[in-house]
Structure 1
Amino acid sequence: MKHTQYTFLVILLSFVDHCRAQHSCAVESFAVKENFDLQRYLGKWYALAKKDPEGLFLQDNISAEYTIEEDGTMVASSKGRVKLFGFWVLCADMAAQYSVPDPKTPAKMFMTYQGLASYLSSGGDNYWVIDTDYDNYAITYACRTLKENGTCDDGYSIIFSRNPRGLPLAVQRIVRQKQEEICMSGQFQPVLQSGESKR
Structure 2
Amino acid sequence: MKQSTAISIATGVAAAAIGGLFLYSRATRPPVINAQVPEPARPVDLQRYLGKWYELARHDNRFQKGLDGVAADYALRDDGKIRVLNSGCQGGPKGERSAAEGRAIVADEATNAKLKVSFFGPLYTGDYWVLDRGEDYEWSIVGEPSGRYLWVLSREAKPAPGVVEALLKRVEALGYDRWALRITQQ
Q: Does TM, normalized by the shorter one, top 0.5?
A: yes
Runs (4 or more) in structure 1 with deviation over 4 Å come to none
- Candidates 28, 33, 57, aligned match of 2:64: 57
* Alpha-carbon offset, residue 168 of structure 1: 6.1
Q: Does 1:94 align with 2:97?
A: no
**CA shift in 2, pair 1:45/1:110, >3 Å:** same
Residue deviations 1:96-139 (CA, integer Å, cap 9, x gap): 21112231231011111149xxxxxx942110111112442111
**CA shift in 2, pair 1:175/1:131, >3 Å:** farther
Aligned partners of 1:139 and 1:175 also within 8 Å: no
- Number of the residue aligned with 1:4: none
* Alpha-carbon offset, residue 34 of structure 1: 1.4
- Please give the residue correspondences for 1:65-104 in structure 2 after superposition, counting only pairs within 5 Å: 65-82=73-90, 90-104=96-110
- Number of the residue aligned with 1:164: 157
**CA shift in 2, pair 1:170/1:184, >3 Å:** same
In 2: Cα distance, 1:158 partner to 1:26 partner: 16
Residue deviations 1:50-83 (CA, integer Å, cap 9, x gap): 1123x23151110111100122211111110246
Q: Secondary structure at the match of 1:56?
A: helix
- Please give the residue correspondences for 1:146-185 in structure 2 after superposition, counting only pairs within 5 Å: 146=146, 152=147, 155-167=148-160, 169-170=162-163, 172-185=165-178
**CA shift in 2, pair 1:63/1:174, >3 Å:** closer
Q: Does 1:192 align with 2:185?
A: yes
Aligned partners of 2:56 and 2:184 also within 8 Å: yes
Q: Kindly, what percent of the aligned residue pairs are identical?
A: 25
**CA shift in 2, pair 1:182/1:72, >3 Å:** farther
* Alpha-carbon offset, residue 171 of structure 1: 6.3
In 2: Cα distance, 1:190 partner to 1:139 partner: 14
- Number of the residue aligned with 1:139: 141
In 2: Cα distance, 1:63 partner to 1:98 partner: 16
Please, which runs of 5 or more residues in structure 2 have no aligned partner? 1-33
In 1: Cα distance, 2:88 partner to 2:180 partner: 20
Computed over aligned residues only, the root mean square deviation of the Cα atoms, in angstroms, reads 2.6
Single out whichever of 63-72 and 170-179 deviates more from structure 2. 170-179
- Number of the residue aligned with 2:36: 26
Q: How many residue pairs were aligned?
A: 147
**CA shift in 2, pair 1:75/1:183, >3 Å:** same
TM-score (norm 2): 0.68
**CA shift in 2, pair 1:170/1:191, >3 Å:** closer
TM-score (norm 1): 0.64
1:139 alignment partner AA: I
Aligned partners of 1:136 and 1:167 also within 8 Å: no
Aligned partners of 2:72 and 2:87 also within 8 Å: yes
Structure with higher strand content: 1
Structure with higher helix content: 2
Please, which runs of 5 or more residues in structure 1 have no aligned partner? 1-23, 84-88, 116-121, 147-151, 194-199
* Alpha-carbon offset, residue 187 of structure 1: 1.0
